[in-house]
Amino acid sequence: MKLKTYEARLYNQWVRLLLDSGERNVTGFSDAWAETRYVEVQAESLECAARLLSRDYPAEVGFVVSGIEELPDPDVVRPNRAE
């Protein structure tokens, strides 16, 4: 089965909370994790993509996945839309 590409939006809630409250970030993660980041993952399904993301970016250390969407397959030719 061909893998699909998904794009996830995620951030670290602990980093965000510390920086928003003016505290020093002591999490070990970059301050940049306070902002939403976009990460691509290849998986067989949306559910598999969510599992991979939770493995690589665990909620237990503050990561929040705020959305996942399937990206278009670049190998599929789509007809041009008439304007």
Distance, first Cα to last Cα, the chain: 36
Q: How far is the C-alpha of 17 from the C-alpha of 62, rounded, in Å? A: 10
Token duo for residue 59: 């909620």
pLDDT tens, position by position, 9-31: 999 999 999 999 999 999 999 99
3 state DSSP class of 39: strand
Confidence of residue 81 (pLDDT cuts 50, 70, 90): low
Q: How far is the C-alpha of 51 from the C-alpha of 83, rounded, in Å? A: 40
CA contacts within 13 A on the Cβ side of 68? 19
The structure's pTM equals 0.83
Pick the CATH number of 4-70 from 3.90.1520, 1.10.3470, 3.10.20, 2.30.30: 3.10.20
